[in-house]
Each structure stands twice: as C-alpha cells, then as structure tokens.
Amino acid sequence: WSFSRSRVLMQRLDLSKLPHIPHPRAKKEKTSLLLITLLVLLAVIVFAGLGGVYLYRRKKYAEVKEAWEKDYGPLRFCYKSLYRATKGFDRDGRLGKGGFGEVYKGTLPRIGDIAVKRVCHDAKQGMKQFVAEVVTMGSLKHRNLVPLLGYCRRKGELLLVSEYMSNGSLDRYLFHREKPPLSWSK
C-alpha cells in the first residue's frame, strides 16, 4: 500500500456514485419531525378516547322520552335539580320507605318543599308502578289527594315529585294510636 498508488485510484473514482454522508442537522430534523408526528398522533388518540367516554356517559345517563310521557303527566324535572333539592338523597332527609322505594324531602327554589319518591327500579314491577303513578296521579285532581307535581325518568333512576305534607302522612293518624286524634282544623 502506498500513497502514490491511492492517488491514481482516487482519480479514477467516480464521486457521484458514492453515498452522501448525512448532515448532522438533517438527522435532527428527521428525529424532531418523527417526534412531532408521534405526539400529534398520541394527542388525537387521547382526545378520541375522551370523546368516546363522554358520549358513552352522556348516552348512559340521558333522559329518555317514551310515547306515554308525551300524552300523560305533569311537569318533567331534570335529575340534577332533584338531586340538589334533596341534598343528594341524604339519609337525614329521608321521610320513609315503602314497597316500591324511598321518599325524601327536598326544596326547589320556585316551588318550595317537595317530597321525592325514588322508585325502586330493581323491583319487577318498578317501572309498571312508576308509569301507573305518573299516569293516574298526574291526571287526578282532588282536595284530599296529594298532587303529583312531576317526575323524572333518567336511565337507572325513576323519581316522582309531589307536594310535601308538613303534618306527615294520614297513615300515622289512622293506624298508629300513639298520636292524638286529628282536630277538624287539621
């Protein structure tokens, strides 16, 4: 091997056929372009996932209207307002429990004190009972009946809203002897 011989080889060498040596800046540009592309792709996937979760939850907790609701019944309340009115269906505000659910006391700003019956939707006849009460009580008007002010039907929740009876249930006076008899003014 000699340097004089390599000069001859160098003169015969076609430099255009040699591969280009990558410039250090070009490698950094490719790396940053790849990194930006991956970050944008990750952001799109995250936002699509969050959007899917939002739509799923919105559909799951949507208030569904059926044909009987259009024809019958009083005012329809939104779940959020009844939840706030009863302070989250707090145990301290529970008035009683029956065969088809629990009753809670609440207060709505424009209406005042209300009683909210949370119908037990796990019972076989829970939905039938709910529809029957909305249809019958919503159309009945009598001075001796507590009027049904409205209802709320949200997936998983069936609520009936009526006026709050400050003197309690008539049941207490009729069937429990501990209470004194009612005066005519009550």
d(CA 41, CA 49): 12
Instruction: Supply the Cα-derived Rg of the chain in whole angstroms.
Output: 37
163 CB-side CA count, 13 A? 11
Cα–Cα separations (whole angstroms), residue 77 to 14, 19, 84, 87, 155: 85, 75, 12, 16, 14
Could you give the 3-state DSSP secondary structure of residue 41? helix
Q: Which residues contact 130 (CB under 8 A, 6 or more apart)?
A: 100, 119, 121, 151, 153, 158, 160
DSSP-H helix ranges across 61-125: 67-71, 79-85
Phi/psi at 145 (nearest 5 deg)? -110, 140
Which amino acid, one-letter code, is at 13? L
Q: Report whether 179 belongs to an annotated binding site.
A: no
Binding residues for ATP: 117
Binding residues: 117
